[in-house]
């Protein structure tokens, strides 16, 4: 795993359920990608109290999802994720810049003194392989990155949850530069996770440019 300057890879949260961070608590289990952006914007501007409660729900009803989808398909991103099981929470997510902004949710649940991990997406046909699938303590940032790089949804391309979607599209004929922002990997618990992968995707693009220049 390549390390980048300015990122604290040893960071380990005390808990995945820490309520000390207000914004983290507000966002943690909200499914919709666009609704999460809206909550952040309102919170940062000090206007959260004015946001309609529809946008702050964990899950929307079918009618509410249809109304949002009628505005633009990207508003469907994350809205069809399965509900959380009791005691389960999201620790990170992979968001794809597809037409409907597909989301893969990485979730944790405490059971028998251990943390058990799972993936949830908006489709039923994907199988997943997780490495590791449990831990005694919350991951450090380094351990979470290794988890993302070594776990897959079996779509047939290398790169784990982090790069396989980019590699899939690149093999389909798209150049890497156009795909640099196709995948976003983020977490409300690990604030520097997204920054790490921005560097990773930038390096991935640079690799192709170097190959072309040889």
Provide the token pair at 193: 């996770």
> Is residue 186 situated within a structural domain?
yes
The size of the chain, in residues, is 214
pLDDT, mean over the chain: 92
Indicate the pLDDT class of residue 24, thresholds 50, 70 and 90: confident
State the DSSP code for 30: -
Residue from 165, 24, 172, 149 nearest 103 by CA: 165
> Is residue 164 situated within a structural domain?
yes
* Predicted pLDDT at 19: 63
* Predicted pLDDT at 208: 87
Q: Exposed/middle/buried for 202, CB within 10 Å: 0-12, 13-18, 19+?
A: exposed
> Is residue 9 situated within a structural domain?
no
> Is residue 142 situated within a structural domain?
yes
> Stretch 131-148: mean pLDDT, rounded?
97
Residue 62 CB contacts under 8 Å (≥ 6 apart), including other chains: none
Tell me the residue range of the domain where 150 lies: 22-213
> Is residue 157 situated within a structural domain?
yes
Q: Is 69 left (phi over 0), alpha (psi -120 to 50) or beta?
A: alpha
Work out the percent of the chain whose per-residue pLDDT is above 90: 77
> Is residue 4 situated within a structural domain?
no
Q: What is the pLDDT of residues 171-195, one digit of tens each?
A: 999 999 999 999 999 999 999 999 9
Q: What is the pLDDT of residues 37-71, one digit of tens each?
A: 999 999 999 999 999 988 999 999 999 999 988 98
> Is residue 7 situated within a structural domain?
no
Indicate the pLDDT class of residue 210, thresholds 50, 70 and 90: confident
Count of domains for the chain: 1
> Is residue 8 situated within a structural domain?
no
Residue 135 CB contacts under 8 Å (≥ 6 apart), including other chains: 114, 115, 117, 143
Higher pLDDT, 126 or 209: 209
* pTM recorded for the entire structure: 0.91
Whole-Å CA distances, 158 to 85, 171, 195, 204: 30, 11, 21, 13
Indicate the pLDDT class of residue 125, thresholds 50, 70 and 90: low
Higher pLDDT, 4 or 128: 4
214 has a pLDDT exceeding 60: no
Pairing of strands 88-96, 183-186: antiparallel
Q: What is the pLDDT of residues 94-121, one digit of tens each?
A: 999 998 899 999 999 999 999 999 999 9
């Amino acid at each position: 795993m390549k390390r980048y300057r300015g990122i604290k890879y040893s960071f380990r949260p005390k808990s995945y359920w820490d309520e000390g961070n207000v914004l983290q608590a507000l966002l943690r289990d909200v499914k919709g990608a666009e609704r999460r952006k809206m909550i952040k914007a309102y919170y940062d501007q000090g206007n959260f109290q004015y946001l309609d409660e529809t946008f702050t729900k964990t899950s929307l009803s079918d009618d509410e999802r249809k109304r949002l989808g009628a505005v633009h398909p990207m508003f469907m991103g994350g809205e069809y994720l399965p509900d959380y099981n009791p005691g389960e929470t999201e620790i990170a997510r992979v968001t794809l810049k597809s037409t409907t902004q597909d989301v893969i949710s990485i979730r944790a649940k405490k059971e028998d003194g251990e943390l058990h991990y799972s993936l949830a997406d908006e489709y039923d046909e994907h199988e997943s392989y997780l490495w590791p699938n449990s831990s005694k303590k919350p991951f450090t940032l380094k351990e979470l990155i290794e988890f993302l790089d070594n776990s897959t949804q079996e779509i047939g391309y290398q790169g784990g949850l982090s790069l396989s979607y980019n590699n899939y599209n690149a093999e389909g004929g798209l150049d890497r530069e156009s795909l640099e922002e196709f995948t976003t990997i983020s977490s409300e618990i690990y604030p520097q996770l997204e920054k790490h992968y921005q560097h990773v995707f930038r390096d991935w693009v640079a690799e192709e440019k170097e190959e072309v220049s040889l």
